[in-house]
Amino acid sequence: MCTLHSIIRNTTLAIAIAGFTTLSAVDIMNFQFNDTNGAYLGGGNSSQVVDAGTVKGTWNNGVQARVQNGNLNYGYTSSWRGATTTTHPLDQGTGTRFYREYTLNSALSTSTGYSTYTYEVVIPTFDIRQNWDNVNSSDAGKGIQFSLRNAAQDLEVIVGYQTITGGGVQAFNSYGTGTFQGLQGNAFDTDNDTATKTPSRFGGGNNPGISLKIEGDLSDGSWTASAGDSNHGYTVLQSGTGLSDIASLRIAAKVPTLGSWGGVAGGPWDQTTTVNGDYFHIDSFTLAAAAVVPEPGTFALIAGFLAFSFVAIRRRKA
């Protein structure tokens, strides 16, 4: 007897027989920051940065960041002070501070039809030298980090860029449960000649910008974090497993000492409004994923089995 159960079974068989799928890349989140100067990163303001992705999401509240000349200003620039008030909260303390989180409208997983993914951040210009301070030098541990977080919020994969002792800079990676402020990783070889380079604390002009990337597969939870600069390709920092869904993305500042970015008394804002503090200019912030799409033959077989099952039921009832 043909029942709904048999229809489902036959339809499943059709899919199994077709067997082949194509992976179609989809822009899940796509911020290019080509918005009008002054557009905000979230909040209740009327002028907002635009996500050209298909899933999109919403920003939490926190330290402000605004667009200027095609980049997102994160930190203290002559165009943007990092806050809407004179207190400049980004570096009013120490640690990993004032994160901004972008929660996707729908989490990515194999159950929602996604498999492999690439998360990439491009930063063409930045300055974390603390040149505005003629008394103190830039401390180690200052920088920026980006992360992917799962729906349960018990796992995140972090990739970032920070100052280290001796005047250098380090790309870093961290992952696991409750490791939002944890670090493990190392400086990276920027031209793959096996010699570890020390990247610059300043990017722009003759100095290369930086890029950070996380790639992974939601079907097995595997991921790889990489870093590079605009003169060389990416170099892998670390690989791991465990991230089988992506629900949100974070940006956060790393603050080693009070006011180390320039946002307190004695910083550039006490001197002149045309001076930059420490900052990153983010050119793009993207997440692309491969959507699993049945081959055309699969659709044809599904339609055929449904038609066959419908006719069979009609005959049994006759």
83 and 226 both lie in a single domain: yes
Using pLDDT thresholds of 50, 70 and 90, give the confidence band for residue 206.
confident
User: Quick check: 157 and 221 in contact, CB under 8 A?
Assistant: no
For residue 32, pLDDT beyond 50: yes
- For residue 278, what is the domain's CATH number? 2.60.120
Most confident of 7-16, 44-53, 77-86, 263-272: 44-53
- pLDDT at residue 247, rounded to an integer: 98
- Ranges of beta strands (E only) in 69-113 are 71-75, 95-108
Q: Give the angle subtended at the CA of 233 by the CAs of 231 and 237, to the nearest 5°.
A: 120
**Distance separating alpha carbons of residues 298 and 251, to the nearest angstrom:** 41
269 and 307 both lie in a single domain: no
Is 88 or 161 the better-scoring residue by pLDDT?
Answer: 161
312 and 177 both lie in a single domain: no
304 contact partners, CB below 8 Å, separation of at least 6: 14
> Taking residues 287-299, what's their average pLDDT?
73
12 and 79 both lie in a single domain: no
- pLDDT at residue 200, rounded to an integer: 82
69 and 101 both lie in a single domain: yes
225 and 118 both lie in a single domain: yes
For residue 205, pLDDT beyond 70: yes
Is 313 or 34 the better-scoring residue by pLDDT?
Answer: 34
60 and 82 both lie in a single domain: yes
Using pLDDT thresholds of 50, 70 and 90, give the confidence band for residue 312.
low
16 and 142 both lie in a single domain: no
> Taking residues 27-43, what's their average pLDDT?
93
User: Rounded to two decimals, what is the model's pTM?
Assistant: 0.82
For residue 60, pLDDT beyond 70: yes
**Distance separating alpha carbons of residues 289 and 211, to the nearest angstrom:** 19
Is 39 or 318 the better-scoring residue by pLDDT?
Answer: 39
pLDDT-wise least confident of 93-107, 163-177, 219-233, 302-316: 302-316
148 and 285 both lie in a single domain: yes
Kindly report, residue by residue over 125-183, the tens digit of the pLDDT.
Answer: 999 999 998 888 888 899 999 999 999 988 889 999 988 887 778 888 887 644 333 33
How many domains would you assign to the chain? 2
For residue 189, pLDDT beyond 60: no
Rg of the chain on CA atoms, in Å: 24
For residue 232, pLDDT beyond 80: no
- pLDDT at residue 213, rounded to an integer: 95
- pLDDT at residue 263, rounded to an integer: 86
Using pLDDT thresholds of 50, 70 and 90, give the confidence band for residue 16.
very low
- pLDDT at residue 87, rounded to an integer: 64
173 and 210 both lie in a single domain: yes
Burial class (CB in 10 A: 0-12, 13-18, 19+), 17: exposed
Using pLDDT thresholds of 50, 70 and 90, give the confidence band for residue 14.
very low
Burial class (CB in 10 A: 0-12, 13-18, 19+), 22: exposed
185 and 317 both lie in a single domain: no
Domain that holds residue 290: 22-294
- pLDDT at residue 120, rounded to an integer: 98
209 and 71 both lie in a single domain: yes
Using pLDDT thresholds of 50, 70 and 90, give the confidence band for residue 186.
very low
